[in-house]
Structure 1
Amino acid sequence: MRLNVQRWSDQLNEKVKLAKFLYRNFRIYDFGSYALNRLTPKQGYTVQKNVPYGLKARHRLDLYRSGSPRLQRPLIVFVHGGAWMHGDKKDYSFIGEAFAKEGFDVAVINYHLAPEHIFPSYIDDLRLALNFLSQSQQKLQIAAENIVLMGHSAGAFNVMSALYNPHPYQLQSKDKIRAIIGLAGPYHFDYKGDPLCAEAFDQELPYQQVMPYYFLEQNTIKHYLFTAANDTIVGHSNSADLDTKLRELGNYSQLISVPRVGHITMIGSVSSLFSRFFVTKTEIMRALDDALK
């Protein structure tokens, strides 16, 4: 009995240490993103902030319109990470700038956060945003004929779950989605008792009834699954296993490893301030060109 208690205590201590480590890293990222956004160039695009896509306070998006749009005027819908409990669109203006300067319009969305809102509420928000963008093209001066869903970490889970989930959504723009780009996404893991994100899911619901990995279906969407070589938060198997299953279904999928970045630094390396030192943005641009050719 004493041995079991000690083992339980050791496991609890490890989880507490992990939670503190992750919390510290997200705080560091907050500071870093503030600096990135302050220094991000403001030329070559326009931005319309706090566009309401629904009735609730978190139903807001920032829309970055390219000053030199590509011929097909593709639209990237970006969903931030933060373990479903943290994050805000205002921290990602560097993402809007990075791709607007490449000819893409970019919608960076907010969504409801845990613990007040649990799965599938944040997926419901993404569905609402996608339908709004599709319905409001003329008013927003965008096109929704070539959509790319892009998400980092929890956001990658969200964009994947918009298509693959236990209760399929009625997406008006589903046949316009050309690609999904998942950056360090968790696609099949057991969240029960997880020190970082347990409160984002119903603990009584088995993860096999939630994770997008278990609800894949055949389609023509191109999938680009990015992993960070130095990721210590989300296991590479999440993307590798998803890639394998997508290919088994006959879907288009690429598994792409980005060297010299960790889970959080991966997204920061997309910034125009740092993209020349890392291959993250170059690989994403390669994926975008491949998806839209």
Structure 2
Amino acid sequence: MPDKVETTLMLIAAGEFSMGILGNAFIGLVNCMGWIKNRKITSIDLILTSLAISRICLLCIILLDCFILVLYPDVYTAGKQMRIIDFFWTLTNHLSVWFATCLSIFYFLKIANFYHPLFLWMKWRIDSMIPRILLGCLAVSAFISLVVTENLNDDFRYCVKTKRKANVTVRCRVNKAQYASIKICLNLLTLLPFSASLISFLLLILSLWRHNRQMKVSATRCRDFNIEAHVGAMKAVISFLLLFIAYYLAFLVATSSYFMPETELAVIIGELIALIYPSSHSFILILGSKKLRQTSLTVLWKVKYILNRRNF
């Protein structure tokens, strides 16, 4: 790649990384300080903290991969370094998606109004189940990561690095076919949490529609906090769904780029688009949480006050 293109892409990546770290670190810090102060943590704060930590790790891995591809492209030839990056990227990617899905389902169970026995049982048990669910997400993500990295052998990495220097041999074609099948399975697995979030969103819409109909029947005109809760939860879930679609497409570009010319450029562009999801969604979550929103306004007011004092 030309030097100007490399510099521009790296600056964009650094900017997205900085914004993502700022937003996710703020969420984690606020919730951890509240945990230390109160000696307990609510289920929603535990999910948000876990999500923030997973996204900070994901942002670090993506940025590291960008810099390695641009500055030290031959590092991946050895295989071991690429295997490590593959493992942690797959792990943090799945953790981020599964934790966001847990958040969507938690919103649904806490806010929606249904009278089915299974729904009521889940609504009653969800708070005690959250720690185990999060640990289960970690175990599943680690297992998937191990399977993926074990199947990406060093022969495939050699074929990737030498594809423009030599003709593609039969062995390379076999390795690429195996890689393609693994990545297809991996991408299909990420559709499971996406489907769960989509179902939660649709059920929230149904719950809101039923609630509005009941309000019209009872002719209630006072302010309804239940409707506000529904709308707030739906905004959080729909923002995750839309950003995840963009992230998913970018992830496909990055993981499929080994079959295209200009591999490094395709990977970096895909990763730049992928960075938008963990970076911007954190600020949407801050605006959607009353505690986080008020804390952020307090912090901004204090920063403004300090800057004004220094000017004088």
TM-score normalized by the length of structure 2: 0.28
Q: Which has the higher contact order (CA 8 A, sep 6+)?
A: 2
Bigger share in strand: 1
Bigger share in helix: 2
TM-score normalized by the length of structure 1: 0.29
